[in-house]
């Protein structure tokens, strides 16, 4: 696996995990009781983006390590995965 493809795969994994982690622990301004004028009441009170970015980086590194191991050391290829054959019409 080349460096460029590794970075691209890590980048995709990182974004997918970020979108999975973003809603965890969110308290809206309405739930917190302090709606700032000019904002939506459903806006997060404290989004904690730095904390979530660090968690995402760690989880993505673990997931990428698994993907890297599968690709490089196990010998698994796309040809090994069962796909439904295309229907002939």
Examine residue 67 and state whether it is found in any structural domain, yes or no: yes
Q: Residue 54: phi, psi to the nearest 5?
A: -70, -45
Q: Can you state the percent helix, strand and coil of the chain, rounding each to 5?
A: 55, 0, 40
Span 41-86, pLDDT tens digits: 888 888 899 999 999 999 999 999 999 998 888 887 778 778 777 7
Examine residue 16 and state whether it is found in any structural domain, yes or no: yes
What is the value of pTM for the model shown?
0.77
Q: How confident is the model at residue 4 (pLDDT cuts 50, 70, 90)?
A: very high
Examine residue 83 and state whether it is found in any structural domain, yes or no: no
Examine residue 34 and state whether it is found in any structural domain, yes or no: yes
Q: Which of 27-31, 33-37, 63-67 has the highest mean pLDDT?
A: 63-67
Examine residue 51 and state whether it is found in any structural domain, yes or no: yes
pLDDT of 89 higher than 70? no
Examine residue 35 and state whether it is found in any structural domain, yes or no: yes
Q: What is the number of domains present in the chain?
A: 1
Q: What is the span of the domain harbouring residue 22?
A: 3-77
Examine residue 87 and state whether it is found in any structural domain, yes or no: no
Q: What is the pLDDT of residue 11?
A: 97
Examine residue 13 and state whether it is found in any structural domain, yes or no: yes
């Amino acid at each position: 696996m080349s460096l460029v493809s590794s970075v691209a795969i890590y980048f995709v994994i990182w974004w997918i995990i970020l979108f999975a982690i973003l809603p965890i622990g969110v308290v809206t301004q309405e739930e917190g009781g302090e709606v700032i004028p000019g904002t939506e009441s459903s806006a997060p009170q404290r989004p904690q983006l730095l904390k979530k970015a660090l968690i995402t980086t760690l989880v993505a590194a673990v997931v990428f390590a698994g993907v890297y191991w599968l690709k490089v050391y196990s010998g698994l290829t796309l040809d090994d995965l069962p796909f439904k054959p295309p229907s002939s019409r």
